[in-house]
Copies of this chain bind each other. A is one copy, B any other.
Amino acid sequence: MKISLENVDDLALGTAFLSTGGGGDPYIYKLALNNAIAESGSVPLVSPADLDDTATVISLGGVGAPMIGSEKLPNGVEGVHAVRLLEDYADVKADALIAAEIGGGNGLVPLLTALHMEIPVVDADGMGRAYPETQMMTFSIYGISATPMSAVDEFGNGVVLTAHDSITAERIVRQVGLAMGGHCMSADHIMSGADVRQFAIHHTVSLAIRLGKVVRQSNSVDDLLQSASPLLVEAGYGAAVNLFEGKVVDVSREMVGGYDIGEIVVASFNDQHEMTIKVQNEYLIAHIDGKCCATVPDLICVVDRDTLLPITSERVRYGLRIAVIGIGAPRLYKSPEAMAATSPRAFGFDMEYTDMSPEF
């Protein structure tokens, strides 16, 4: 498969849907990718099954608060710089790139970069959504070293780091991102094709394109859920369920330590019920009337209730009428080691993972 002009809008919609609020608004990368494809042709997408066992694959994505990413525009070739820096340091050549996270703009970055580098992108990613931290990637969870890792800014400043574990790498790269104005582009997790087959969330690029088409063609939230669920289940996720509908009545948001941290409060249209959503770049935990109804690693997605357009966390504002959709996490996030890295406790919340329960 190749990603051509006709796929980009759907891909951007689908990555925003899967973003669970994070990964950055795909808008700017949609424009850049459209331009680049118009100029240089389509981007080859390679299925994990078709990768050589010994192929070298490098993971790529932005690090920082999405709110910063929406104001600090990229030059569009940060990814190339990040990958080249890592290649030079580690003395490897990338045969293909893979998204660190399919969610949001970070789902499009590898395509734009691969086009410039004339290599394919793997139809897979390291999260199946977006998460705020390096050690939450399946690659890290299942033992691929996150480092050496590069981080660059739009001015060409660059860093290569090595660290004993992914959490240390995350702490360092987060601070580097802060020094680079709150956001940097990072290449990491040098893997083999065999690693990708084993540890990546498969087919998420093509899933995002299909989900984008569903978003575009659906007429209601129910319609969207009915069409999206079989695609998600086929891709190894749980089905999509409607957790809550209502109006955003409060948004608190701070940039703390390189993240957007906050809480969203949504009132049901009959004013009888209230949902709160805890945010660290991504929508992490949802409560209805004080009772937990969904947590990481399950996906909590927000769409505009009328247009069905996905809403990333930095775009949520008072008065939006939204539907909150829950999606069961992919299998690779159900293991004990994945739960240790991505359950509510991994984000500092004193609570366990809770099965999704839309009833109230």
Write the residues of chain A forming the contact surface with B, with a CB cutoff of 8 angstroms.
89, 155-164, 168, 171-172, 174-176, 178-180
Contacts and interface: CB of A to CB of B under 8 A. Distances in A.
B161 A172 contact: no
Contact of A159 (B156, B172, B174): B172
A63 B156 CA distance: 23
A160 B162 CA distance: 9
Nearest to A160: B160
A112 to B, nearest CB: 23
Nearest to A149: B159
Contacts of A89: 89, 160
B163 A172 contact: no
A164 B172 CA distance: 20
B172 A157 contact: yes
A65 B160 CA distance: 23
A168 B157 CA distance: 8
Contacts of A159: 159-162, 172, 176
A204 to B, nearest CB: 30
Nearest to A258: B175
B157 A158 contact: no
Nearest to A171: B179
Nearest to A165: B157
Contacts of A158: 161-163
